[in-house]
Structure 1
């Protein structure tokens, strides 16, 4: 398959600034947009004209925008991005599945498609991604790019340096997929991609200091300062393996004794139940057992809840974020033991500290795939040199 990408129009730096402001925060009145970007009305008119002519921006009815400010003179219609003008494919690769989505320019999902991953050979994986892209393109021809999320170390948004789930080293995944699809491809660590998605279009939009913490098969952490993600050495190599939350805590095959990984990840929680009872239960069965008062399940879930409260408190104490987003397939812990998490969190904070704004987002792998699309959106909008 070879596709013609729906490219971003050639824009100056100031035109890009206008487009990004409307993309992330719109619809916006011209008055609000000029104030945000410190532009005169004449300069704003000059900058928006080519964006409207290219079909990227459009005037929308006043009711579609935020309440207009009081202003003098002839009212103008707010500006918004034509989100469907460009579409993106996002893939999340796990050890046994590929989850795929098509998103708009604002990362709203318009299609989903999943395929089993029977082979980890990089060439065959690239072939599978190309097949899925071709299927998407049949119904959604305005594809502008592909984003791929992988657990592990990703270099230059193109090469999977190391992936423990896929047993890969130095795989040029972006090149392999681009050769087969003809579309620009961005590869990113899955947690980093999710952080960027939430920063631009989700819980962190408009915040200066923001944290994403994910719990599931592993732990993920992302810090945003000044609206930009801060690179973290551990985000690609197993965050939390050496962050000791309880020195007397459990010893599991992955992570140090009492580490965040040993206490909080789904495999570790399942391992603890299996070692204690001989029963191989799913994570959902363990949570249900704890909710029903089953002693061993309750003990393990309570330990995990206290560990989570401690971890969130440490993050709040040192990073001082305006909000912490808790996401991932393990967030069901909050439904069963959210009270213990909150109590532990308060006990590890100064009595006069402001309450932590902890938002929980129930995620599935399509959310991770959506997150993977956002670095591709960002690269198209910002230009490769600015991402």
Structure 2
């Protein structure tokens, strides 16, 4: 039975100049638009089953937004919610007014984004055409690396990029799954932008690929910090074009994938415990420890992680009572988390609402491939919610930005992996 693929997109750039998301140090509102932000929608249909994937050019998509987008999709077609994945590209040059419950939350803009997601889905439905899926992969060097690896030797490994082409009679849709913080542009940028994804877009378009979806991955500790030459739009474009050229260079070696049975989608639920707020004394001790380490580091790029950790320690204490859907048990606060699983033939999508480390993504891939030997595994970060960092437990033995910023106890990564392991077994 043939598979149909469809594509839709809509602009979601704010019609106002508001506060931007991604950096604590950035206080000034946006001054303008460098390149438009989009929602991209990809729809697959096989027989009577429909699978929908959204990717939004924003820092994150919280559960409130995800749930409403799913509601709007289900108002048009009768499909289960687990057949719908909503992801963020994690650009740090997008709007902050999208997050429900924040002081600067803008309901009009939020409704606009939801409406544009619905419109992009309708466009994708109307664009459904008979398709063939082709798959490629490449180890990418010179764009992203582990940002907390202070020695050059530890940064030498390539970062896995996986990509598909949905080939149709008259065009193709590219899907790019590459884990990397979109932070070429730093806190000094005051213009809305897709960051390096803009350069990727330009490179693909110049090679006649007009439709593409970027999906971030296990990017919690991956960034362009040690490879970007400067924090400019030109540099963001350069790195994006490098990624595009690497992908295009692999096209002759891409392999066709048949989407046969079985195909299914499900959600895995688990409870994670929030860590308590640091006391004033604990904050002061951690600040002193960070400053002691910083005194031994001269490379300003290597210093950035710990400088960011200092800023996190200045944030107000978390008010757990204001967290949507928080669960209180005695003195503890917990959050119900959903992990998304799709299986379409040999393609397995794993969507997590976290910033997970690159090595955590590799653990997930290994686990899935132990169950499904021929699986092509895509790990989707910032998917189905925006719950923050969950570093591996061994990383809690040293101070880092991600460890300080993580809202959960240090066993969160293992709890997530165990829930996935149980489902697969």
Compute the TM-score of the two structures, normalised by the length of structure 1.
0.26
Rg larger in structure: 1
The structure whose residues are more often strand, as a share, is 2
The structure whose residues are more often helix, as a share, is 1
